[in-house]
Amino acid sequence: MSQRLDHRTAVYPGTFDPIHDGHLDIITRGSRLFDQLIVAVGINPEKSPFFTLEERVSLAQRVVSHLKNVQVRGFTGLAVGFAREVGARVMLRGLRTTSDMENEFTMSLMNLNLDPEIETVFLMAKEPFSHLSSTLLRQIAQFGGNLDKFLPQEVSIALQERARDRLARKT
Ligand code: ADP
């Protein structure tokens, strides 16, 4: 644990399956708070993702390319481990609802136990995005609903294609 950590660098970890406007709002606001923001696309062993890790990284890279102090990286393992690896002192998370709060509260305390030098900082979701989740968007895509209001166009196209492929494989 000898590596120096920088409070001006933050990591924003998540599954991003796929990245949507709520995530992008947190990324944009986070990019104004920190000198460097690393969007860390991870693997959740409890979820079977729609998109591979490489696809999720690539979609995220395409939609944050206008933000010069934002990078996107894939990682495996613990988010605190990745934050330390890149020298970040802060992990950024978004909060939508009180149920998010319960999960995030436990997770942030566990992360603090795992690495007491890394702090989690929360930003509240802006009202227009507070109902958005990747899970809901994947469900809407599978039922052929319109996603354009919630996702950048290229992500929306990729999600609709993936939903169609998955449906075709099931039928
Ligand atoms: P995870 O699998 O860790 O829940 P997600 O990719 O769903 O990862 O989310 C990553 C982070 O973005 C989490 O902190 C989550 O609370 C936050 N987030 C997700 N959706 C929104 C939203 N609509 N507005 C703001 N933050 C959000």
pTM of the model: 0.94
Mean pLDDT for the chain overall: 94
Query: Are the C-beta atoms of residues 21 and 53 closer than 8 Å to each other?
Result: no
Cβ–ligand 1 distance for 134 under 6 Å, the answer yes
Looking at residue 2, its pLDDT comes to 52
Enumerate domains of the chain plus CATH numbers.
Answer: 6-130 (3.40.50.620)
Q: What is the pLDDT of residue 171?
A: 67
- The token pair at 126 is 């802006």
CA atoms within 13 A on the CB side of 52: 3
d(CA 6, ligand 1 centre) in Å: 23
- Render pLDDT for 111-157 as a digit per residue (tens, 0 to 9): 999 999 999 999 999 999 999 999 999 999 999 999 989 999 999 99
Ligand 1 close to Cβ of residue 94 (< 6 A):
yes
